Amino acid sequence: MEFIYYFGDVFTPMSFMLLLGGTIGGLILGATPGLSPTMAVALLIPFTFQLEAAQGLILLGAAYTSTVAGGAVSAILLKIPGAPANIATTLDGHTMAKKGEGARALQLSFLASAVGGIFGVLLLIFLTPVLAQWALAFGPSHLFWLAILGVTVIGTLDSASVVKGLLSGCIGLWLATIGFDDIMGAQRFIFHPALGGGINIIAALIGLFAIPQVLTMFAKGRHNTGAEVIEVQRHSIMAAFKELFSRTRALSIGTLTGSIIGLIPGVGGQIAGLVAYDQAKKFSPEKDKFGTGHSEGVIAAESANNAMVGPSLVPLLTLSIPGSPTAAVLLGGLLIHGIFPGSDLFDNHPDVAWTFINSMLIGQVLMCIFGLYVAGLAARVAQVPQSVMAAIVLALSVFGAYSVQGSMGDVYVMACLGIGMFFLERFGFSAAPLVLGLILGPIAEANFIQGGMIADATVGKASYFMTGGLNLFLIAVVLASIAYSVWMELRSRRYTTKEEAQA
Amino acid sequence: MNRSQHVFGSGLVFAVGLWVAWVSYTQQPAEAFLFPRLIATVFVVLAGWTFGKAVMGLSKVGNGVTRTMFVNMLPGLTITLIYVFWAAKTLGFYTATTIAFFILLSIYDPAPHNEVKTWIKRGIITAVFVAVMYGLFAMLLNVYTPREILF
């Protein structure tokens, strides 16, 4: 119950203002198609340099929470999901809006998001300290395998091709080795002076998540969103409350599904929303109404994608393994303040850890309140031409990358990685495992070297890294995640081939 | 996506993998390259597999870059490259941002190009945006960006 002591810190004027700003800004950014939650959080990191660690994290956490919920606005009013997490919301939400029930759909969406989100953060509050203490038992070999696990799980589950996902992770691990070696001081892969200090994580994150989006917007040409905002009629909030709690089956399915999926590294909000929607449909006596503007569809999808947010941070805060690309960006936000997640965070910086987590709890309530008022404005912002968005994101990326260390080298690295990532994505590679490799590379290498030294003095490298219960368990999970993804890929290919043959 | 694009993309990644492996296994001190060697080995195997599949025409994942996409993107990409690698440092961040933002807006804005009103609108959006950027970065965050020959 330690978290209760730090509730007051969320309500200091500066912290609360940042929470409010992050929530409202996140709602608007989330509603804008093409601006993903990960990119929004990455672009915000430079604004946290001048803030205290807890305040910086409050801003990033608020933006993360509300961008996921904000995506429902454009999904319902424009039929364009603001983020992949909101795809399932369009199925019933937009149909409700077309029937003149837009306000009802939005109210149910934000209320369900808040219920799911609060449950997810409570899970984060109660699971994290226990797991952080458990993580104290981890030695270098376990931390090495955990880092590898982080890269392989996201590489295999987040990519359409297992091999390309793992290859993206390898590219990220290699990029992390560029610069001077920590132990011998040797130069590694420095083929340009801008790389002398290695690749700055924040500049890389901005480039890898923002620049491909900018180029994708350019690639659409002189394109209008073409979507008309559906006018919203008034609807009683109390009626929405009553309806939400009369649909407890959909709400609990969404909340539980989202929370469980959030705990699995690499799975993400898109899967959470779609799985919850599918399960709510299966268990509903009114399954025929799904897809025709049924409120249970909106409730299940939105409670799931916000319930996923809190648990997705559990692996990050306990084991330093980001469970999602956005969690990886948040890790970057922690590292720039010299704070390392895990037991160190809860033992030496409990104020930072608990203020951040508490702010996410308060943020869910603020997101619900302001979501209902900001929805109309957010839908208008979502209609802003993509040319304006692309130019804004490009300029923010350049200024953001420069402000990390006041170096043009970081701007060049940001641009090169971003342009390269755009083409790699077009060839089937994925940014998430590459980012995870870049972030977890130094952790993996430091523990590989440290473990190697211990092994040389004791049992030898092979025994040290490949034996012991926990090592074997982690290796088994790495192999299982790869095997599962290969099986899924082969199965989907078989179905595709059958469909092609029938066609 | 056509086969040649798959071959080109995966071939480039394979070439980088081979270079990483060559550097890792030839540079000294060997201890500093222990971890890169481990990565390079996996990198080359996976990149070789991907390249082999592409050559045999078995690569399916990835949409590639269509001609229309590339043509649409080319002006924006060119301006981005000039802005990042030359103008920002030479002209100054705010001047370069103003010019790049206005040009990008003019090229990609779906509003008609033959109306004075739309040009005024683009000018106002650019001015407001650069003012906000100046307020945020120069005044609020105290980031001193290169000012160089202009501003």
CB A273 within 8 A of CB A262: no
Rounded to whole angstroms, the Cα distance separating A144 from A138 reads 10
pLDDT at B22 over 90: yes
Q: What is the pTM of this model?
A: 0.80
Cα dist from B97 to B112, B120, B133, whole Å: 23, 18, 9
CB of B139 within 8 Å of any CB in chain A? no
Q: How confident is the model at residue A48 (pLDDT cuts 50, 70, 90)?
A: confident
Q: Do B46 and A49 touch (CB under 8 A)?
A: no
Rounded to whole angstroms, the Cα distance separating A449 from A177 reads 13
Question: Can you tell me the mean pLDDT for B111-140?
Answer: 88
Rounded to whole angstroms, the Cα distance separating A30 from A41 reads 11
Name which of B72, B104, B125 is nearest A220 (Cβ-Cβ).
Answer: B72
Cα dist from A103 to A95, A106, A337, B31, whole Å: 12, 5, 42, 63
pLDDT of residue B126: 93
Distance of residue B56 Cα from the nearest chain A Cα, in angstroms: 16
Name which of B34, B46, B109 is nearest A222 (Cβ-Cβ).
Answer: B109
CB A75 within 8 A of CB A32: no
Q: How confident is the model at residue A421 (pLDDT cuts 50, 70, 90)?
A: very high
Q: Which residues of A touch B18 (CB under 8 A)?
A: none
Span B47-60, pLDDT tens digits? 999 899 888 887 77
pLDDT of residue B1: 58
Question: Which residue, among A303, A323, A338, has the nearest Cα to A114 in the 3D structure?
Answer: A303
Tell the residue number behind the tokens 């597999």, with chain if given. B49
Question: Which residue, among A455, A40, A178, A360, has the nearest Cα to B36 in the 3D structure?
Answer: A178
Cα dist from A202 to A102, A331, A404, A435, A438, whole Å: 39, 10, 7, 10, 11
CB A392 within 8 A of CB A38: no
pLDDT of residue B77: 94
Structural domain boundaries of chain A? 2-502
Rounded to whole angstroms, the Cα distance separating A494 from A499 reads 9
Q: Is residue B124 exposed (0-12), middle (13-18) or buried (19+ Cβ within 10 Å)?
A: exposed
Helix (H, G, I), strand (E, B) or coil at A228: coil
Cα dist from A54 to A120, A327, A385, A403, whole Å: 20, 16, 35, 20
Name which of B43, B62, B146 is nearest A427 (Cβ-Cβ).
Answer: B62
pLDDT at B16 over 80: yes
Question: Across chain A, what does the average pLDDT equal?
Answer: 82
Question: Can you tell me the mean pLDDT for B14-43?
Answer: 90
SS3 content of chain A, % helix, strand, coil (to 5): 80, 0, 20
Q: Do A426 and B62 touch (CB under 8 A)?
A: yes
Tell the residue number behind the tokens 């490298």, with chain if given. A461
Rounded to whole angstroms, the Cα distance separating B65 from A40 reads 25
In this prediction the ipTM stands at 0.92
Q: Do B35 and A177 touch (CB under 8 A)?
A: yes
User: Can you list the positions of beta strands (E) in A194-347?
Assistant: none
pLDDT of residue B103: 94
pLDDT at A119 over 70: yes
Q: How confident is the model at residue A266 (pLDDT cuts 50, 70, 90)?
A: low
pLDDT of residue A382: 66
Amino acid identity, position A151: V
pLDDT at A305 over 90: no
Q: Do A47 and B36 touch (CB under 8 A)?
A: no
pLDDT of residue A376: 67
Q: Which residues of A touch B124 (CB under 8 A)?
A: none
Rounded to whole angstroms, the Cα distance separating A421 from B130 reads 27
Span A458-482, pLDDT tens digits? 878 788 888 888 888 888 888 887 8
pLDDT at A197 over 90: no
Q: Which residues of A touch B42 (CB under 8 A)?
A: 166, 170
Backbone angles phi, psi at B149, to 5 degrees: -75, -25
pLDDT of residue B150: 65
Question: Can you tell me the mean pLDDT for A444-448?
Answer: 86
Q: Per DSSP, what are the bridge partners of residue A179?
A: A188
Q: How confident is the model at residue A401 (pLDDT cuts 50, 70, 90)?
A: confident
Span A126-172, pLDDT tens digits? 888 777 777 667 788 888 888 888 788 777 766 678 888 889 989 99
pLDDT of residue A232: 66
Tell the residue number behind the tokens 């694009």, with chain if given. B5
Comparing A497 with A398, which gets the higher pLDDT?
A398
Span A24-41, pLDDT tens digits? 888 888 777 667 778 888
CB A222 within 8 A of CB A386: no
Question: Can you tell me the mean pLDDT for A82-97?
Answer: 81
pLDDT of residue A131: 76
Average the pLDDT over each of A305-314, B35-44, B45-54, B139-148 and give the range with the smallest value: B139-148
Span B68-120, pLDDT tens digits? 889 999 999 999 999 999 998 888 889 999 999 999 999 988 888 888 898 99
Helix (H, G, I), strand (E, B) or coil at A204: helix
Q: Do A415 and B81 touch (CB under 8 A)?
A: yes
Span A340-393, pLDDT tens digits? 777 777 778 888 888 888 898 898 888 888 887 777 666 666 667 778 888 988
Query: Residues 6 or more apart from A452 whose CB is under 8 A from it?
Result: A461, B34
Structural domain boundaries of chain B? 3-55, 67-140
pLDDT of residue A157: 65
The two three-digit tokens of residue B59, written as one number: 């690569």
Question: Which residue, among A299, A212, A314, has the nearest Cα to A262 in the 3D structure?
Answer: A314
Q: What is the DSSP letter of A78?
A: T
% of chain A at pLDDT higher than 90: 8
Q: How confident is the model at residue A317 (pLDDT cuts 50, 70, 90)?
A: confident
Distance of residue B143 Cα from the nearest chain A Cα, in angstroms: 6
Name which of B31, B100, B136 is nearest A184 (Cβ-Cβ).
Answer: B31
pLDDT of residue A502: 53
Question: Can you tell me the mean pLDDT for A71-88?
Answer: 78
